[in-house]
A and B are shown apart, each in its own frame.
Chain A
Amino acid sequence: MNTVKRLWVAVPLGAALAALGWAGFAPVSVTSRDELFEIPKGTYARRMAGDPVEILPSKVRLTLGLNDVLMLRNLDDVPQVFGPTIMMPGQSFRLPFEKAASYDFACTAHASGQMTVLVEPYPAMPWSKIGWRFREWWENRKR
């Protein structure tokens, strides 16, 4: 009986430790370095009609060495300004980042007119890997 009880504790604990070990030590990877955001057709028209449409998140989080390229695609009918550049209708802008920092950009696709790109360092340490995996899971869950 004691053995069964012990197993009830030991098996979940072992599994949790194994999962934690994997999350902390297995290499992190992503399918693409590009974090894609699209400005849909009609964004400008909707805003002009008084709809405070928020298409893109006001804060984008990137990680060096993983998803460290911001890819914006303008599917709207009018040019859109994103921080350093203007994107014509149908055009995309692929902006790589090489330094961890917080970048504030003007962005006409936002009602606020601003977008922040937070670039974080590569999660090299076990606890940062665990944090990165948890955040990815959490954000994917919300999508």
Chain B
Amino acid sequence: MIRRIALLLLLGTAVASAAPDANPMKAGVLSPVMAAPALALQGTDGKPLNLERFRGKVVLLAFGFSSCGEVCPITLATLAGARRKLGAGAADVQVVYVTVDPERDDAARMKKFLGSFDPSFVGGVGSRAQIDAAQKGYGISSTKQVYADGNYTIGHSSSIYMIDRAGGLRAVMPYGHTVDDFVHDLKILLRT
């Protein structure tokens, strides 16, 4: 009887391991995985910002601007929450936030903005041409909306790009996902 139960348990384990991944990613997954488009910017940490710097870590890359009143604070708070919830695993997760507003966002301003969410976040700043090149690489659109007083806001793509430890662009999380969704997917990416 005990041998039968043991055999059944063994069979069950084998079937479970052979089954397709029952826990797929919450983000949209790109296949085949290709190298993430390069970045050539200045980092808010005072170093040149390129993705090679973060090889070995999972990079969460997003685009926004420090004067953003709606989307960016929610995105950054979510990413900060995900890092906190990951615990020790957060050491292998780097958030990179590239400005779409190079006219107003210099390194100091962007650093202060990002630091209010998580001091480990690194911002990307640069000239209009450098930012345009970064946006083009990821298919990011941004549209300036000017108010009557001359002030402006910028509507922009708000997805978060998930880059694996080897620098491959693995997945894209659309705006609006929860901390738990990010933690779920980061655990998958950190395992691979």
Contacts of A54 in B (CB 8 A): none
Stretch binding the partner chain, chosen from A18-26, A45-53, A86-94, A125-133 = A86-94
Interface pair A91/B30, CB less than 8 Å apart:
yes
Residues of A near B161 (CB, < 8 A) are 85
Sort chain A's interface into a size bin.
10 to 19
- What A residues does B159 contact at CB under 8 A? 83-85
Q: How far is the CA of A113 from the CA of B38 in the complex (A)?
A: 26
B174 contacts A84, C-beta separation under 8 Å: yes
A97 to chain B, nearest CB (A): 9
Question: Interface majority SS on A: helix, strand, loop or mixed?
Answer: strand
A85 engages B139 (CB within 8 Å): yes
**Counting CB contacts under 8 A, is B109 at the interface?**
no
- Asked whether B28 lies within 8 Å of A85 as measured between CB atoms, the reply is yes
Question: Taking A93-B172, A95-B174, A106-B141 as contacts, is the C-beta distance between A84 and B28 under 8 angstroms?
Answer: yes
Enumerate chain A residues within 8 angstroms of B175, measured Cβ to Cβ. Answer: 84
B contact residues around A92 at 8 Å (CB): 30-31
**Which chain A positions have C-beta within 8 A of B138?**
85-86
Q: Count chain B residues whose beta carbon lies closer than 8 angstroms to a beta carbon of A.
A: 21
B139 touches A96 (CB 8 A): no
B139 touches A81 (CB 8 A): yes
A79 interfacial contact with B, CB 8 Å: yes
B34 touches A88 (CB 8 A): yes
Contact yes or no, A84 B157, CB < 8 A:
yes
> Is A98 located at the chain interface by the 8 A CB criterion?
yes
Type the 1/0 row for B166-178, where 1 means its CB is closer than 8 Å to any CB of A: 0000001111000
Given A79-B139, A84-B172: A96 and B26 interface contact (C-beta under 8 Å): yes
Give the complex CA separation of A128 and B125 in angstroms.
Answer: 51
Residues of B with C-beta under 8 A to A91: 30-32, 34
Q: Which residue of A lies closest to B138 (CB)?
A: A86
Q: List 23 A-B contacts (CB under 8 A).
A: A79-B139, A81-B139, A83-B174, A84-B28, A84-B159, A84-B174, A84-B175, A85-B28, A85-B159, A86-B37, A86-B137, A87-B30, A88-B34, A90-B32, A91-B31, A93-B29, A93-B30, A94-B28, A95-B29, A96-B24, A96-B26, A106-B141, A106-B157
Give residues in A with beta carbon < 8 Å to B.
79, 81, 83-88, 90-96, 98, 103, 106, 108
A81-B141, A96-B25, A96-B28 known, 4 other contacts, Cβ within 8 Å: A84-B175, A85-B28, A85-B159, A90-B32
